[in-house]
Structure formats: structure tokens, C-alpha cells
Amino acid sequence: MPLTKTAWLRSGARVVVLALALTACGPFGEEDDTSENARRTSRSGATDGHRSGAQKVGMRSDGGRPLPPGQTGTRVFKEDTGIEPTYRIAAQKVDIGTAAEARALVPDPADAEGKVPAVAYVRYTHLRGATVREYPRVGDYPEVYADGRRGAKVTGAAVGRPKGCADSDEIRNWRSGQSYLLCNTFLIPARARSVEVMWTEIGGKPFVWTF
């Protein structure tokens, strides 16, 4: 299953930054009755049914249904250097951790109360365009939503790097045809019944994958 439990934290972890407020409602956090046929999974094995507040997150930019795990979307993306390569983007899986792992990610245990970590694995393929010489930022834009609300992104030494994931700060001379798996970690409610990954650049239209 694309949505799995895993122990992925590194030992000796230290400082981490909460980049987003978990309690802030996402821009699509409204109830919608059209979601009853959408896929829903969780760590405890939720069944298909109505997803309160998640469907508007899960709508594709063209008005279609959410993408299944691994299905690709193609987008021209403007990197910080000004070049605009075309990328193929696919969210492949979300790994869900434990409450203990969530507490290890933050300096104040209160920030992790009722939360678990969710790691989004997204693969990017450089399809065409100029070579990205260094520091690609295309992998900075995925977000994890749980029950229609944006998770709290965590960064820093405590997060470490999940197995198989590249470090975008170490990528050099990314040419057409090359792919990298880039990962982002978020804290989400432990009892979340639906999880989605949304990739969208500022001012752009989203790709959304439902897990």
C-alpha cells in the first residue's frame, strides 16, 4: 500500500522547524458531498466513504478527479535561476510514523501532541529544457493534507533523510532524462482518515494525489 507505517527517523536528531501551523485550515478545507467515491486509507485501514473537508483539496486543477499514487503530471517550472525546465511529477507514497517519532521531531513535545509524521515521496523527472546546474527548488512545493487540512511541515536535522530520497541541495547538473526522488515531512493528526499530497507552485494549478 502507498500509505504505510515506518520507522524512518535518524538517531541523535536535534533541532527541527515547524514551517506551517497544523491548526490552520487549508484553502480547500470545506465540506463537500461529492467525495463518497474517492479513495480513503489510513494507518488503521479506513474504508471507502464520505470524506469531510478533503474533496476540494483532492480536485485536480482541470476539475477532474484526484490522481492515484504514482500517476504523473507534467509542468513547466521556473527555477530560482530563471530557467524553466519541464518536469514530470508523481507522488508515489506517504509513510506514516508514530506518536513517539513525532515527539522526536520537535523541541517542545506539546507541538506533537496528537500528531504523527507523514513523509511524502515524490519523484521528479527532468523531461526537457535547460540543465539545472544546482539547487533545484521544484521539490520544495509538495504539501500533505489530512482530512482536508494542511499538515505542519518539519525541517532540520531531526528529520534526517528517508532511505532512497535525494537531497536537493546536493543535486548538480540535472539533465533531461534524469529522475530524483525528493521527500518532505509533515505532522498530521494521528486519527486522520484521509491523506492527500498536493504539489503546486505559487500561483499555479495543483496536482493532487489521494492515498
Per-residue model confidence as pLDDT tens digits over 133-175? 999 999 999 999 999 999 999 988 778 889 999 999 999 999 9
Q: How far apart are CA 201 and CA 136, in angstroms?
A: 13
Tell me what pLDDT residue 19 has.
Answer: 44
* pLDDT of 31 higher than 80: no
Domain-by-domain residue ranges, the chain? 3-210
pTM of the model: 0.73
111 and 103 in contact (C-beta within 8 Å)?
no
Tell me what pLDDT residue 98 has.
Answer: 97
As a whole number, the mean pLDDT across the chain is: 77
Name the CATH topology of 3-210: Immunoglobulin-like (2.60.40)
Tell me what pLDDT residue 120 has.
Answer: 98
H or E element, residue 117: strand 115-128
| Pairing verdict, β 86-96 and 73-76 | antiparallel
* pLDDT of 122 higher than 60: yes
| Mean per-residue pLDDT, 25-33 | 30
Q: How far apart are CA 56 and CA 208, in angstroms?
A: 10
Burial category of 160 from C-beta neighbours within 10 Å (exposed 0-12, middle 13-18, buried 19 and up)? middle
> What confidence category does residue 202 fall into, taking pLDDT thresholds of 50, 70 and 90?
confident
| 55/66: higher pLDDT | 66
Cα within 13 Å of Cα(40), Cβ side = 23
If DSSP states are collapsed to H, E and C, what string results for 17-43?
Answer: EECCCCCCCCCCCCCCHHHCCCCCCCC
> What confidence category does residue 3 fall into, taking pLDDT thresholds of 50, 70 and 90?
low
Supply angle C-alpha 3, 149, 182, rounded to 5: 50
> What confidence category does residue 65 fall into, taking pLDDT thresholds of 50, 70 and 90?
confident
| Mean per-residue pLDDT, 176-181 | 98
Beta bridge partners of 54: none
